[in-house]
Amino acid sequence: MYFIFFSFFAGFAALFSYIFFKPLPENITDRRILQLFEPIFRFLYFYPVKLMNFFHFYTLHVRYSRLFFRFISWLPSKISALCKKCRVYNELFDSIDVKVYVPDNLKRHQGAIFYIHGGGYVLFDADSFDSITRRLCLECGVVVVSVNYRRAPEHEFLTSLEDCQKALKFFLREAENKYNVDSTNVLVMGDSAGGAMATVLARKFKSLKAQILVYPWTQAVDFLTPSFKYANQFTKGTSLLDTEMMAIWTLMYTNHDIKLWPKLSSNCHHNLAYCQKLLINHNYPKNAAKNDEIYNFSDDLIRKLFHPDFSPLFSPQNSLTGCPETLIFTCEYDVLKDDGILYKNRLEKEGVKVQHVHFDRGFHGMLNFCNQLNLSNEMMNKAVNFAELMFSKV
């Protein structure tokens, strides 16, 4: 009986692996571990969401995605809370929900990190990033504020950023009295969409000490940059971040018809001549131009896509001058690799001091595994070292 059961289980596992196995890039970090868990993740999340997209069940897509990521982040957050103890408070900063992490012993520089989580403006919350923010708090020895901003598609365009801006303004005003934090020693940090919002805040609040941008999403105009095309070629069909999800989240955030994502992801949403000059010289497909259907309703979309508070890469000339010192992380296996590199170039062109660290074996979202994967741990260590260096400067 046991032999029959074992044979059935082994046969099922072999069939599952055969059907769902897709090789990850040879050079990707911790490939054996990722290759084991990626098919499971794809089966439980990637395929269901793709099916929902196919049938235009976008509301269900959002609900399922949020529930799924809350579930898988629950255990790591609980383990982190047990192993890395600090005081955590749920607060309201000018009506904005935030989590505040306070170490038992604040360092003498009395700095703070204002963290904005990623998730395409649609997914995740502060709890999902607890293992990251808790570790930043303890290893840097500073107060960390993590913002629960309102998300798309339920809320209007730029609501997420406005929430972060209100919370930061409140924190800078109250930091010294309430948390013994020097308001001139506050660093802003964010990943992906959170990285975009972080750098917009750094542009608006140039008194900030520094900014750390983790694979930032700095433009929503060009979905055919080399890194997008590279990802479509080498990671297509896997659960790594892809063009489809980026286009869908863009339309959710801009409050436009989500069914248009195939046209947006193919750069059919507008004429890219201007974008091509500003970004990268690369060969666009023949369909990368306006067509009558899109042109009739996309004026508002184009305005939003180029809005500097959504696409900071397109910030007005000289508006980035005076921004604080910056650390940018990019990853090889990431559709947003070029976003980070282009933004680095833009900052340097306007006189901002930038440190750029590229992980040639990294992938989008790897910071969330800072307690599990070696390269992710290295990324976290570099962020901590940079933050400590910035805090120590007078």
pLDDT at 79 over 90: no
Number of CB atoms found within 10 A of residue 232's CB: 17
Tell me, yes or no, if the pTM score tops 0.85: yes
Do 181 and 174 contact (CB within 8 A), yes or no?
Answer: no
CA distance 287 to 307: 24
- Tens digit of each residue's pLDDT (9 = 90 or more) over 368-377: 999 999 999 9
With a cut of 60, say whether residue 1 has pLDDT above it: no
Residue 283 has pLDDT above 80, yes or no: no
Ranges 3-7, 229-233, 287-291, 379-383, most confident = 379-383
Q: Which of 31-45, 64-78, 151-165, 169-183 has the lowest mean pLDDT?
A: 64-78
Q: Taking the domains of the chain in order of start, what are their residue ranges? A: 86-220+316-392
Mean pLDDT for the stretch of residues 237-241: 91
Q: What is the fold of 86-220+316-392?
A: Rossmann fold (3.40.50)
Whether 364 and 331 have beta carbons less than 8 Å apart is answered as yes
For the stretch 179-211, pLDDT in tens is: 999 999 999 999 999 999 999 999 999 999 999
Q: Is the pLDDT of residue 328 over 60?
A: yes
Catalytic residue set: 192, 334, 364
Q: Are 376 and 34 in contact (CB under 8 A)?
A: no
pLDDT (0 to 100) of residue 189? 99
The values of phi and psi at residue 16, to 5°, are -60, -45
Angle (CA) 278-330-112 rounded to 5° is 105
If you average pLDDT over every residue of the chain, what do you get?
A: 89
Q: Which residues contact 138 (CB under 8 A, 6 or more apart)?
A: 84, 86, 103
* Mean pLDDT, range 233-262, rounded to an integer: 93
Q: Is the pLDDT of residue 17 over 90?
A: no
Q: What pLDDT score does 8 carry?
A: 56
108 pLDDT band (50/70/90 cuts)? low
CA-based nearest residue to 246, from 231, 78, 326, 373: 231
Lowest-confidence pick of 22-26, 227-231, 283-287: 283-287
- Average the pLDDT over 224-239 and give the result: 88
Characterize the bridge pairing of strands 186-191 and 210-214: parallel
Looking at the chain, which runs of residues are DSSP E strands?
A: 87-93, 96-102, 112-116, 143-147, 186-191, 210-214, 325-333, 354-363
Helix (H) or strand (E) segment spanning residue 300? helix 299-305
Beta strands 143-147; 112-116: pairing state: parallel
* 290: pLDDT strictly greater than 80: no
Please state, in angstroms and as integers, the Cα–Cα distance from residue 265 to each residue in 167, 169, 302, 350, 362, following that order: 33, 35, 14, 30, 23
The answer to whether 137 and 143 are in contact (CB under 8 A) is yes
> By mean pLDDT, which of 147-151, 285-289, 359-363 is the weakest?
285-289
What HEC string does 65-79 produce?
HHHHHHHHHHHHHHH
What is the arithmetic mean of pLDDT over 302-308? Answer: 93
